Amino acid sequence: MTPRTREARLLETFATLADTLVDDYDVVDLLQTLVDACRDLLDTTDAGILLADSDGALELISSTSEAADLVEVMQVGAESGPCIACFRTGKPISVPDIAQAPAEWSEFRRTALENGFAAVEAIPMRLRDVTIGTLNLLRSEPGSPPEEDMAAARAFADVATIGILHERTVRESEGLSAQLQTALNSRVLIEQAKGVVSFTADVPVDEAFHLIRGYARDHGRRLSEVAAQLVRRELRLGPDEARAH
């Protein structure tokens, strides 16, 4: 990809995200768009987003692969790792060589290395003094991404934060809690739908997700709505076609 093409795609992504931020936007789809953009446009192998629920507990909400899922979920379960530290401190955490991660992150180190990751950057999703989650960049080679990539990632994190901490939810904490919980509930549905499609279409879980998301986009529908239909067996997706029952 040439620098000019990459710059154009970055601008296109920000324009898409701006168009998404309307009253009835789908939080999960917004965040999936962000992690996909990180993977496709930045010097990173995979990306994921951890988001805090109404009780302040982190949950995985979006990622670009099952391997990234495992690394993120492990940190949440162990309550330890760079992404957890990033959320707790509200500051970026850089681990350019996971093999040299501190001893207290031994479970994270083992899981990340086993899944082919050698470096990670954790970026807080923060507005003023409110941190609602983290954007995490996982790389298959040790080292740090170029500074221009980190600047773009920070901007992506800011867009995501603004999208969630929308003016009316900043003013109304009850509305914010409900919106975050809705996003987390949607993630559960999507995970269930991935399993359904993987089984019925006999495809890997990553491919199952691409089928679900492609169908939602092609039909102008919310990702969570399509997932719910799949779980209820009202919709069946195959590798080459989708059939509504």
Neighbours of 54 (CB within 10 A): 14
Is 130 strand, coil or helix? strand
How confident is the model at residue 176, as a pLDDT?
55
Kindly report each contact of residues 181-186 with a partner whose C-beta sits within 8 Å and lies 24 or more positions away, as own/partner.
181/53, 181/54, 182/27, 183/27, 183/28, 183/31, 183/51, 183/61, 184/51, 184/53, 184/59, 184/61, 186/26, 186/27, 186/28, 186/223, 186/224, 186/227
Question: Each residue of 23-64: pLDDT tens digit?
Answer: 566 778 888 888 999 999 999 999 999 998 878 889 999 999
Please give the pLDDT value at position 172: 55
- Residue 68, both tokens: 């990234």
Q: What is the pLDDT of residue 168?
A: 44
Q: What is the pLDDT of residue 67?
A: 94
Output the pLDDT for position 222: 85
Point out the residues of the chain with pLDDT beneath 50.
167-168, 170-171, 242-245
pLDDT at 236: 87
Q: Are 150 and 57 in contact (CB under 8 A)?
A: no
Render the burial of 75-85: b for 16+ CB within 10 Å, e for the rest: bbeeebbbbbb
> Identity (one letter) of the amino acid at 23?
D
H or E segment and range at residue 127: strand 119-127
Spatial contact of 134 and 126, defined as CB atoms under 8 Å apart: no
Query: Half-sphere exposure of residue 174, counting CA atoms within 13 Å on the CB side?
Result: 0
End-to-end CA distance of the chain: 42
**Cα–Cα distance between 17 and 239 in angstroms, integer?**
28
At 9 the pLDDT is: 82
Q: Please, what are the domains in the chain?
A: 3-165 (3.30.450.40), 187-244 (1.10.10)
